[in-house]
Amino acid sequence: MSVDRGHVISPGRVNLLGEHVDYNDGLVLPVAIDRSVNIHFRRTEEKQITLHAHDLGEECCIIPEKLDEKAAVDGTPLPGWALYPAGVIWNLLRYDFRIEGFTAGFRSNIPIGAGLSSSAAVEVGFAVVCAALGGWQLDRMTMARICQEAEREYVGVNCGLMDQFACACGVHNHALVLDTRSLAYRSIPLPPDTSIVIADSSMRRSLVTSAYNDRRRDCEAAVAYFHAIDPSIRALRDVTPQWFLTAENELPAGIFRHARHVVEEIARVDEAIRLLEKNDSRGFGRLMYQTHTSLRDLYEVSSPELDILVEGAASFEGCLGARLTGAGFAGCTVNLVRSDCVDRFIRQLETDYSSKTGLQAAIFATHPVDGAHLS
């Protein structure tokens, strides 16, 4: 059943564990968070779609059937922000979904460029808008994949599936376990009496794309080495940590370090799932600290600011675990904190970070929420 107007809430996401393993067929543990993109929309009689980006004070009109040109109605190139909703509409049309004319305004309280999937939230949110107006159904994994394809093929960002998946499939008070090889997934409750706290370093990334591509090539080189030994090896997921260590003198040092992080991180996620099933919050937090050390020393994607945030968190007794989240180099850390300590933790971490860097971190508590939906 279609609607003529409505309000869609589309959450951001943070990844608790499983960093840089999605392109190595590993398991990831994201959660959808209560920072979100809010979209208010209404049907129109015109065939065009009018988009209002309230946070930027900009608007753009598009004609769905002419989106191949990546141009607005007036012929000017689409602004960068408009590529994300336009790409989703473009890809839905490729799948023969009916797209109605509408006007939509959206704003977000997800920090942009902080690794919390603001772009994926926009994509999934507009997919929900189009489904509501068109009166058609789309299962959430298919929706996530259509949005991922839009970002890769229309926007031109070679992203994995995890971001769109978490924004679409989030479950209240649960983490998601996604197998990036089979795309099987399930939800798992988070330990009671714990809270997720995100600390935004206020630093934004530079040179991330080249560094990401370098790391990805190193992982592919390591896979090629093991595949030559055993042709059944398809990804680093197929290599055990014990077997991997035997290659220390065979692989170049940089490739060995980077691939070692991935192999050991995949094993950490397996252990983390078992700990969550036992409500072992301290054990899970210990793995978060291990992941940060690995991302810093082996994968080499941390930064002085992120390290200061994690070290400051570790000095607080009520913090069970902390690590950088996302691509790295800047952005945010994610912290698992005892719920009765959250306010004190935030105040202490803000003070510690400011005194050591001269910067102001935006630190806030969040909780897992449902995926994008009509409100």
pLDDT at 159: 82
- Would you call 370 a catalytic residue per the annotation? no
269 has a pLDDT exceeding 60: yes
pLDDT at 326: 85
Distance of alpha carbon 20 from alpha carbon 266, whole angstroms: 9
Q: How many Cβ atoms from other residues are within 10 Å of residue 260's Cβ?
A: 22
Domains defined for the chain, CATH in brackets: 5-189 (3.30.230.10), 195-366 (3.30.70.890)
Percent of the chain scored above 70 by pLDDT?
98
| Residue (of 81, 80, 100, 78) closest to 89 by Cα position | 100
- Which position among 34, 163, 218, 352 bears the catalytic label? 163
Position 330 confidence tier, pLDDT thresholds 50, 70, 90 = confident
Give the chain's end-to-end CA distance (angstroms, integer).
16
| C-alpha separations of 42 from 90, 102, 126, 347 in Å | 19, 6, 12, 42
Percent of the chain scored above 90 by pLDDT?
90
Rounded to the nearest 10 degrees, the angle between the axes of helix 140-150 and helix 162-169 is: 140
Cα 366 to the chain's mean position, in Å?
15
| Residue (of 156, 191, 185) closest to 173 by Cα position | 191
213 has a pLDDT exceeding 90: no
Say if residue 31 is exposed, middle or buried (CB neighbours under 10 Å; 0-12, 13-18, 19+): buried
Q: Which residues contact 370 (CB under 8 A, 6 or more apart)?
A: 11, 32, 170, 171, 172
Rounded to the nearest 10 degrees, the angle between the axes of helix 304-314 and helix 342-357 is: 140
Per DSSP, the residues of 221-269 read HHHHHHHHH-TT--SGGGS-HHHHHTTTTTS-HHHHHHHHHHHHHHHHH
Question: HSE (CB half, 13 Å, CA atoms) of 110?
Answer: 28
Position 295 confidence tier, pLDDT thresholds 50, 70, 90 = very high
Position 209 confidence tier, pLDDT thresholds 50, 70, 90 = low
Residue 76 token pair: 């000017």
* Cβ atoms 312, 279 nearer than 8 A: no
pLDDT, tens only, 219-244: 999 999 999 999 999 999 999 999 99
pLDDT at 206: 57
Q: Dihedral, CA atoms, 250, 252, 257, 262, nearest 10 degrees? A: -70
pLDDT, tens only, 139-196: 999 999 999 999 999 998 878 899 999 999 999 999 999 999 999 999 999 999 999 9
Position 23 confidence tier, pLDDT thresholds 50, 70, 90 = confident
